[in-house]
Amino acid sequence: MALYVALTYTDDVDWSRPGPEHAEEMREYNAFGQAAAAVIKGGHALYPTATATTVRVNGGKGGDVLTSDGPYAETKEALTGFYVLECADLDEAVALAARIPAAWNGAVEIRPVIVFGQ
């Protein structure tokens, strides 16, 4: 088995206070969470990008800490959440990702996780 992270890229929805227009989508996420409970090893929804802070250290290690307001990259679709999935292979991960509501409301990026010491 292998671990993958499925990153959800969608409209910058505030999932902490979803409006009625997101009620159906919320139900879809809950349904996915229950149906795939056996393989979901973790994950969270994220506050919108307005809450993001990007940190850089200027001038090498120990240098000035620079913070800027906003996400690392301003894109039309924002990183709004992630799942950690345990799958046999990429085909399984793709099939699973295709059931995440973000896949039809935006896109899901799948990345294999490095497990150090294996």
Partner 1 sequence: MDALVRLVRDEGARVLATLVRLTGSLELAEDATQDAIERALLTWPRDGVPDNPRAWLIVTAKRRAVDLIRREAQRPAKEALAMLPEDQVAPDTDLLSLIFTCCHPALSLDAQVALALRTLGGLATDEVARALLVPEPTMAKRLTRARQKIQNARIPYRVPPDADLPERLNGVAATVYLIFNKAYDDPQAAGLAGEAVRLARMLAGLMPDEPTALGLLALLLLQDSRRAARLDPSGPLVLLPDQDRSRWDRAAIREGVTILGTALRRSPVRPDRYAVQAAIAACHALAPTYAQTAWDAVISWYDVLLTVQDTPVVRLNRAAAVAERDGPSAGLALVARLSGLESYPWWHATRAELLSRLGDVPAARTAYCAALALELSAPQRSHLESRLAAL
Q: Which parts of this chain interact with partner 1 (CB under 8 A)?
A: 2, 87-91, 94, 110-112
**Minimum distance between the CB of residue 116 and partner 1, rounded to whole angstroms?**
13
**Minimum distance between the CB of residue 89 and partner 1, rounded to whole angstroms?**
4
Residue from 72, 78, 86 nearest 5 by CA: 86
Q: In the complex with partner 1, which residue's Cβ is closer, 84 or 94?
A: 94
Q: In the complex with partner 1, which residue's Cβ is closer, 44 or 111?
A: 111
**Minimum distance between the CB of residue 39 and partner 1, rounded to whole angstroms?**
14
Residue owning tokens 């150090």: 116
CA–CA gap between residue 88 and residue 38 (Å, rounded): 13
Q: In the complex with partner 1, which residue's Cβ is closer, 46 or 93?
A: 93
**Minimum distance between the CB of residue 79 and partner 1, rounded to whole angstroms?**
19
Q: In the complex with partner 1, which residue's Cβ is closer, 50 or 88?
A: 88
Q: Which residues, listed in sequence order, are joined to residue 5 by a DSSP beta bridge?
A: 84, 111
Residue 73 near residue 58 (C-beta atoms within 8 A): no
Amino acid at 13: V
Residue 99 near residue 110 (C-beta atoms within 8 A): no
Token output for 26 = 């919320």
